[in-house]
Amino acid sequence: MELNFWETVRTSPTFIILFLCSLVTITFIIERWLYFRRTQVNAEIFIHTLNKKVREGGTKAGIEFCQRSPTPLAAVVRLGLQNFSLGAKNVSELMEAAALEEKMKMERYLSILGTLGNIAPFIGLFGTVVGIIRAFDDLAVSGSGGPSVVSAGIAEALVTTAAGLVVAIPAVIAYNFFLRRVGTVMTEIEAATKKLRVILGIAQ
């Protein structure tokens, strides 16, 4: 009895679940990749240009510059510029609140990737266990065929474990990559907050 991969896929509910998980994983990986690509900015160049704009045209020019940039960093800095007259403490708190809101946007859907990365191998393992039970049941029903009947069934069952890993590994890699990106952006925002206070000359 030879392993029929496509027949296994067609008849296995576990494969259907893993296939749906893979579609969700691919969808959110692409969505987050496009989001971070769209909002990517060189923080050093951004602050340098902002400093130049503020010196030449005041806070209004700085706000207009930030409005042209669809990035979390620009959103936080813009809020600071719009409220700089409130004083250092209030501006810092407003920018920290804005940074947390931007962090939530950046972390959107990441929990789904993390969850799929954790559960996909277990779904595959469940399919393997069910497949092995089915293989031994076939052996008991046939009453003959020896190890060949069991080995073919087990081989088919193990394919679900491999499928679970195929779903989990990209999900985990993407989750860690995007989480690291979120951390980098948050560090840039924290540094930009301090630099903005210097640019605007806000005292403690």
User: Looking at residue 85, what is its pLDDT?
Assistant: 77
pLDDT digits (tens, 9 = 90+) for 133-154: 877 776 777 665 556 666 666 7
User: Looking at residue 2, what is its pLDDT?
Assistant: 46
Domain definitions of the chain by residue range = 5-200
Sole residue written with tokens 């509910």:
13
What is the spatial distance between Cα 189 and Cα 72, in angstroms, rounded to a whole number? 8
User: Looking at residue 28, what is its pLDDT?
Assistant: 95
47-59: b (≥16 Cβ within 10 Å) or e: beebbebbeeeeb
Residues of the chain with pLDDT under 70: 1-11, 138, 142-153, 155-156, 201-204
User: Looking at residue 35, what is its pLDDT?
Assistant: 93
What is the spatial distance between Cα 188 and Cα 12, in angstroms, rounded to a whole number? 48
pLDDT digits (tens, 9 = 90+) for 91-122: 888 888 999 999 999 999 999 999 999 999 99
Of the candidates 158, 167, 95, 165, the residue with the CA atom closest to the CA atom of residue 131: 158
First and final CA of the chain: distance in angstroms?
79
User: Looking at residue 204, what is its pLDDT?
Assistant: 45
What is the spatial distance between Cα 113 and Cα 35, in angstroms, rounded to a whole number? 15
Measure CA 19 to chain center. 19
User: Looking at residue 142, what is its pLDDT?
Assistant: 65
User: Looking at residue 119, what is its pLDDT?
Assistant: 94
Q: What's the full length of the chain, in residues? A: 204
CB 75 within 8 A of CB 98: yes
